[in-house]
Structure 1
Amino acid sequence: MNVRVKPVRWQGSDEAIRAVQVAFDVEEAVLEAVRTAAFEQHVSTSDQIRQLLGLATTSKPKRPRLTVSLSGADYEFLARRYGLAADDRLAIKERATRDLIAFASGGKKGAGAGKPGRK
């Protein structure tokens, strides 16, 4: 049997691979309190929960980013909105990033405009 050695940069991921995500079913007020505290402390919701539970958090800074899951239909909608090809996901991401930046700058452009609605 041929056992391959992991590259050095992957060796630290073993513990993360074994980690289990836990979801807490709580009232809306609890969700809001935790999210607000995380926002005010500039930490992730996950790190805020870890702090509340007395668990260790990583000290290394994370790059600030927002995430959203996009389906094929979402990409098609955004492609039409931006006048791009649906398979040009990088260009769609770049245009969406500009919309988010405009929103944060007070331009609120595209904030809900033309949204396909909730599913």
Structure 2
Amino acid sequence: MNKPKDWPEETRAIQATQLAFDLSSDIQRAFRVASAMQDLNTSAMVRKVLQLPYRKKRIRPRLTVTLHDDDFVQLAERYGLPASDRAAIRQCVADELSAFASRFLTDPDADTSVK
């Protein structure tokens, strides 16, 4: 059986071992902050510190959050939209997250809590 040409990478990924470390909150925060400041994911930052090869740029730089049906209902009420219009809710969420980031980057000490 002939393997597709991209299988060697898949085979290598299967052979990799993922390690998890129980480190203090301060150490984890330091890695998250350092990786964010260097536009890396935390795994790449760990690899950089260990002087291992790493990807210089994130493949898909995005934020993720899991939203349940109840969350969409709550967000729809907040934005004055029907709960079924998930595309519009998603856009409103993206706008709110962008506004948060703008306020935070302008004044990191500003109160950015949701009221």
1:90-109 alignment, distance < 5 Å: 90-106=87-103
Q: For the residues of structure 2 that align with 1:87 and 1:13, how far apart are their CA atoms?
A: 40
Report how far residue 78 of structure 1 moved. Answer: 0.9
Partner of 1:14: 10
Q: How many residues are aligned here? A: 108
For structure 2, which runs of at least 5 residues remain unmatched after alignment? 105-109
Q: Deviations over 1:78-111 (max 9, x none)?
A: 1111122223221111000111122223298x84
Q: For the residues of structure 2 that align with 1:102 and 1:80, how far apart are their CA atoms?
A: 19
Q: Deviations over 1:15-44 (max 9, x none)?
A: 486256543221111111111211221211
CA contact (8 A) 2:44 2:54 kept: yes
1:60-75 alignment, distance < 5 Å: 62-75=59-72
Q: TM-score, normalised by structure 2?
A: 0.68
Q: Choose 72-81 or 15-24, whichever is displaced more.
A: 15-24
Identity among equivalent pairs (%): 36
CA contact (8 A) 2:40 2:56 kept: no
Partner of 1:116: none
Query: C-alpha root-mean-square deviation of aligned residues, in Å?
Result: 3.2
Q: Is 1:58 aligned with 2:55?
A: yes
Q: TM-score, normalised by structure 1?
A: 0.66
Q: For the residues of structure 1 that align with 2:100 and 2:7, how far apart are their CA atoms?
A: 40
